[in-house]
Structure 1
Amino acid sequence: MSIDDATHYLQQIQAIAQAAQQGESSSREQDSQEIFRQWATFGVAGELYGIDVMQVKEVLRYTEITPVPGAAPGILGIINLRGNVVTVVSTRSLFKLPPNEIDTSTRIVVVEFDDQEVLGLLVDGVDEVLNLPQSEIDRAPGLMRDDATRQFVQGVCYRDEQLIILMDLDKMLIDFRS
């Protein structure tokens, strides 16, 4: 092999290496541009659900709920939260599940929906806040209990071999708008 051939061969190798490096750089840029969303997760009847963390105002230990006569099904009553009245809704009722005993894990998740309404969701327990890439979220399966449930399921995701059902809070609570 002549020196000119060796030089030409070396230039080709360098060009290939540079192209590969640019491809990796482009791939890293795409990865860094991945859209992530944070989900607050909670449990109901042994299943894990998630709602957009930006809609969660706070999580409260269970406190006595004052019943409201004539309230719609699913509305457990009201609580006083630092001078503000908050309506509390049973997630089990929303999901058409039987009631559960209140225990030390039971929480009230105070959420803001429809850009102004504040409501408490009674859940069996809270889990954690997850930062999920949009690419890991799958469409909601077509076969659900009923159309009413399916319309407020935004998607599903598997995390550590557990299914997380991601809810659209605004659609889920549409019946509770004042």
Structure 2
Amino acid sequence: MESKILLENGTNELEVLEFKIDDHCYGINVAKIKEIINYQDVTPVPNAHPSIEGIFMPRDTMITAIDLRNCLQRGTSKPGGLFIVTNFNKLDIAFHVDSVVGIHRVSWADIIKPNATISKAEESISTGIIKYDDRLIIILDFEKIVADINPNTGLNVDQLKEIGPRSRTDVPIVLAEDSQLLNKLIVDSLNKAGYNNVRHFENGKLAYDYIQNLKKRGQLEQCKCIITDIEMPIMDGHRLTKLIKTDDATKEIPLVIFSSLVNEEMRRKGEQLGANKQLSKPEIGNLVQTIDDLVNVKERPGGGEG
């Protein structure tokens, strides 16, 4: 499949790999995929979560295999089919599926929210739906699937304990994060770190509109730092970054990409778009320290602000 358009950063597009489990169509962002391989025998892991099939070692790398059919409450997969080997949040994980249909280029603006057309099991682990030809493709939330199986892979809030006592600061921060759970966790974590003036939005478009309204009113001092996810409906984080960094009025606002997709290729794209920093989502402690540096907040030994 050609990807020439996607090589142009900030186009608000993504490529989705469509795959099937039984006759149901699902999708995953191609940016998460390392490779697709034929099913391999796995070694069961004692006392593992029921959705974990086991582990295997292609090319001397240990990979955990997850049974997507089981995650979707559609029974248990049998040997056969394919493994979609992924990398996100610094983890290599294989997802067992029946077959792969193909790759589709879509706009984030065309991805709609999950609704009553899908099952409760699907709704709880999906980020959106694509209408393609005569069928619906459900985009699954692979980060949530993995975090539900192993909560230790999620946001590492324990890192905040290492930071120590913090004074309060009203430095205004804008957050764009579509996951309700992560949105709340990030806001709560920033509050614990002393940042009590966080305006949070569920996609890049809402965050961008807010910043544009500040610009029109001559109040851009009310946005001292922007934190954005990459994968979001309506407007993704790369598009938001491009719009902010190509506008003379907003280009000096520090912008941090905080995403599960900060791999080598995505980091290169973020750099080209002008992101000031890029961090992987488990690193909430590093996020706080990065914001400290970008907005010049320093802590005195007694916890006072410098």
TM-score bucket of the superposed structures, by smaller chain: 0.7 to 0.9
Please list the CA deviations of residues 32-65 of structure 1 after superposition, one character each: whole Å capped at 9, or x if unmatched. x862111112111211111111111111101111
Q: Does 1:161 align with 2:134?
A: yes
Q: Does 1:84 align with 2:71?
A: no
- Structure 1 residue ranges, 4+ long, deviating more than 3 angstroms after superposition: 100-103, 142-145
Q: Matched residues in 1 for 2:135 and 2:118: separation?
A: 18
Find the counterpart in structure 2 of residue 57 from structure 1: 34
Unaligned runs of 5+ residues in structure 1 are: 1-32
Give the Å deviation of 1:88.
Answer: 0.4
Give the Å deviation of 1:149.
Answer: 3.8
Q: Does 1:139 align with 2:116?
A: no
Structure scoring higher RCO (CA < 8 A, sep ≥ 6) equals 1
Find the counterpart in structure 1 of residue 19 from structure 2: 42
Please list the CA deviations of residues 153-173 of structure 1 after superposition, one character each: whole Å capped at 9, or x if unmatched. 111111111110012221222
Q: Percent identity?
A: 25
| SS of 1:131 mapped into structure 2 | strand
| SS of 1:135 mapped into structure 2 | helix
Find the counterpart in structure 2 of residue 129 from structure 1: 103
Find the counterpart in structure 2 of residue 108 from structure 1: 83
Q: Does 1:74 align with 2:47?
A: no
State how 1:22-41 maps to structure 2 within 5 Å.
35-41=12-18
| SS of 1:171 mapped into structure 2 | helix
Give the Å deviation of 1:142.
Answer: 4.3
| SS of 2:70 mapped into structure 1 | helix
Give the Å deviation of 1:151.
Answer: 3.3
- The letter of the residue matching 1:39 is V
Q: Matched residues in 1 for 2:98 and 2:123: separation?
A: 21
Q: Matched residues in 1 for 2:145 and 2:98: separation?
A: 17
Distance 1:176 1:98, change over 3 A: closer
Q: Matched residues in 1 for 2:118 and 2:20: separation?
A: 18
Distance 1:98 1:145, change over 3 A: same
Q: Matched residues in 2 for 1:143 and 1:40: separation?
A: 21
| SS of 1:173 mapped into structure 2 | helix
Instruction: Give the TM-score, by structure 2 length.
Output: 0.43
- Give me the CA root mean square deviation: 1.9
Find the counterpart in structure 1 of residue 186 from structure 2: none
Distance 1:49 1:77, change over 3 A: same
Q: What is the aligned residue count?
A: 142
- The letter of the residue matching 1:37 is L
Unaligned runs of 5+ residues in structure 2 are: 1-9, 153-306
